[in-house]
């Protein structure tokens, strides 16, 4: 059995908003606003008690949005997010249990990497699209340049500290397939129910990715 191709699943989705849900109805509204702005994939983090229900609601109620689960830390969570309807899963790091468990479960998985050894372990397990985290804290632009040679077949989704001003520099890297960022779902806009602003930020992000 081989790993599900996360890169193929997310092809065309160059910016993946990272969103921590405060409620189920809120999550659906955020996903609809992003989709209306041209963003077709979202990572919902498992950092609140409503996250599983939010993933299930987006998967059910927002056709056209690929919903992923972030902050997946163990195999039990991986099983749970797949049952909830997530089409992909993302981790801040990786473990042998998750690297091989994702293959066994048949779910697209972006393991978190920050070192060459972690990249090698992920590639050996069959994963080709890897979350590079925490991007800004580890000077990911230089890492991406250094890794183009030894890891020519790997593609990365840098996440962590990236905003609209930095996104273009990351997207220009030949080994970056997509990137994750929370700037599209700012907390103040979410709290205020300002989904028009989120839609506007999504449109800006789509234009930025197309440059």
Catalytic residue (one of 25, 43, 118, 204): 43
Q: Is residue 131 flagged as an active site residue?
A: yes
DSSP letters, the chain, are -----HHHHTTT--EEEEE--S-HHHHHHHHHHHHHTT--EEEEES-STTHHHHHHHHHHH-TT-EEEEE---SHHHHHHHHHHT-SEEE-SS--HHHHHHHHHHT-EEE-EE-SHHHHHHHHHTT--EEEETTTGGGTHHHHHHHHTTTTTT-EEEEBSS--HHHHHHHHTSTTB--EEESTTS-HHHHHHT-HHHHHHHHHHHHHHHH-
Q: Is residue 43 flagged as an active site residue?
A: yes
Catalytic residue (one of 25, 26, 118, 131): 131
Q: From edge to edge, which strands make up the β-sheet containing 155-158?
A: 112-113, 129-132, 155-158
Catalytic center residues: 43, 131
């Amino acid at each position: 059995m081989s790993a599900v191709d996360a890169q193929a699943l997310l092809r065309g989705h160059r910016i993946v908003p990272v969103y921590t849900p405060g409620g189920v109805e809120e999550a659906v509204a955020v996903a609809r606003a992003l989709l209306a702005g041209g963003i077709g994939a979202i990572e919902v983090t498992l950092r609140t008690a409503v996250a599983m229900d939010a993933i299930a609601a987006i998967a059910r109620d927002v056709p056209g949005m690929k919903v992923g689960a972030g902050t997946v830390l163990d195999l039990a969570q991986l099983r749970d997010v797949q049952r909830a309807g997530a089409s992909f899963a993302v981790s801040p790091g990786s473990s042998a249990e998750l690297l091989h468990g994702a293959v066994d479960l048949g779910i697209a998985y972006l393991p978190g990497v920050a070192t060459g050894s972690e990249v090698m372990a992920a590639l050996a397990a069959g994963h080709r699209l890897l979350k590079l985290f925490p991007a800004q804290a580890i000077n990911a632009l230089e890492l991406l340049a250094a890794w183009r040679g030894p890891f020519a077949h790997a593609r990365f989704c840098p996440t962590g500290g990236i905003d609209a001003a930095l996104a273009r520099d990351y997207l220009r890297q030949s080994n970056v397939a997509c990137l994750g960022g929370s700037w599209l779902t700012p907390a103040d806009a979410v709290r205020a129910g300002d989904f028009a602003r989120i839609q506007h930020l999504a449109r800006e992000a789509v234009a930025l990715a197309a440059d």
